[in-house]
Structure 1
Amino acid sequence: MAAGATMHTFDVQLADVDRGVYDELSLRVARHPSETDAFMMTRLLAYLLEYEEGIAFSEGISATDEPAVLVRDLTGALTAWIEVGAPDAARLHSGSMQAARTAVYTHRDPAKVAAQWAGKRIHRGDEIPLHSFDPGFIEAAAALVERRTSMTMSVTERRIYLDLGGTSLESAIHTQPAV
């Protein structure tokens, strides 16, 4: 955990109908002092939307050589590199070279995020999905987060339904190629 990080605990009921993933999770998320609420919420949603055996949060913003979320197999080999926000092309290129699968989840305007990668060399860039949400969704969800938050998340037909402490929110999950 980074010095000065604020710990958040999320008790999550996850029902991802699209992938057949159903689980109850208790997640401890360290929020670095320079990390925005929107970034932390996007990182949490990326974790939940990618949830599988071997998934983990990295050290977050302070980890310069790892993505926000990663997946390792039982041997410890990196199988998925999951970025959050607006990573630069060099970081995506490196991540795509290290893992069999790479994805990006953003709380920013996806057109502007993708535009920064145009014409840049990104290994298997055409295979990297860029996921985003409806405008205002991440900010509304982040505003409901407390140090300890109960959360229910359902995903069906690429639509996310969140209940955070009794408040319901929903958004489409928009996906486009990164390049």
Structure 2
Amino acid sequence: MALRATVYKADLNIADNDRGYYASHAVTLARHPSETDERMMVRLLAFALYADDADTLAFTRGLSEADEPDLWRLDLTGAIELWVEAGLPDERRVLKACGRSDAVVLIAYGRNATLWWQGVQNKLARNPKVRAFMFDVDGTQALAALAERKMTLNINIQDDTLWVSSDAGEATVHLQRLNG
């Protein structure tokens, strides 16, 4: 019997001083059985970085569906405006996403993120649709410790630093811009 996804509910209180965006979002996301707490929490931070007042940013089936990103923003016709991918995707997948969407955002994390970027940088940096970022390792590991089935996260964003606090503790995650 296949393992089922675990449902997590998060109340996100976002204060993004860089964009002047201040809002709260109640989100529900499914954690795939092969997904780690760290990756799931990175997806939540990606949501916080790109959330908007129109509430058009949505979690997809992610790991369960090979042709979908972790997050996307669709327009009223169903066309993909924004494709957000967390992790270390293959460059062919990213280039395919560029053909299907108006903009692609990559958020790399983990110990091998720098090595991954060195390997794909030349192929992806030429594409104007791709913006790549990297979270620091210590920050995402501290972030993973905040994961709970029902959580309230206060996320403050300023100058490429994300401060996250909850009842379970706090984490500081630094965002490094790789291109774009």
Displacement of 1:132 in angstroms is 1.6
Contact conserved, 2:139 with 2:174, CA < 8 A, in 1? no
In the alignment of these two chains, the number of paired residues is 176
Q: Does 1:46 align with 2:46?
A: yes
In 2, the alpha carbon distance for the partners of 1:154 and 1:111 equals: 25
2:176 counterpart (156, 174, 177): 174
Contact conserved, 1:86 with 1:113, CA < 8 A, in 2? yes
Displacement of 1:169 in angstroms is 1.9
TM-score by length of 2: 0.89
> Structure 1, residues 52-81: CA drift from partner, whole Å, max 9, x if none?
231111101011001111111222211011
Letter in 2 for 1:112: L
**1:120-135 matched pairs, under 5 angstroms:** 120=123, 122=124, 125=127, 127-135=129-137
**1:92-171 matched pairs, under 5 angstroms:** 92-108=94-110, 109-118=112-121, 120=123, 122=124, 125=127, 127-165=129-167, 167-171=169-173
> Structure 1, residues 89-129: CA drift from partner, whole Å, max 9, x if none?
11100111111111101222432121232554x59535522
Displacement of 1:24 in angstroms is 1.0
Identity rate, percent:
30
Q: What SS is found at the alignment partner of 2:120?
A: coil
After superposition, the Cα gap between the structure-2 partners of 1:76 and 1:117, relative to the gap in structure 1 and judged at 3 Å, is same
Which structure 2 residue ranges, 5 or more long, are not aligned? none
In 2, the alpha carbon distance for the partners of 1:118 and 1:150 equals: 36
Question: Aligned Cα RMSD in Å?
Answer: 2.0
Contact conserved, 1:127 with 1:177, CA < 8 A, in 2? no
Contact conserved, 1:126 with 1:177, CA < 8 A, in 2? no
In 1, the alpha carbon distance for the partners of 2:72 and 2:32 equals: 18
Letter in 1 for 2:22: Y
After superposition, the Cα gap between the structure-2 partners of 1:123 and 1:158, relative to the gap in structure 1 and judged at 3 Å, is closer
Tell me which stretches of 4 or more aligned residues in structure 1 moved more than 6 Å: none
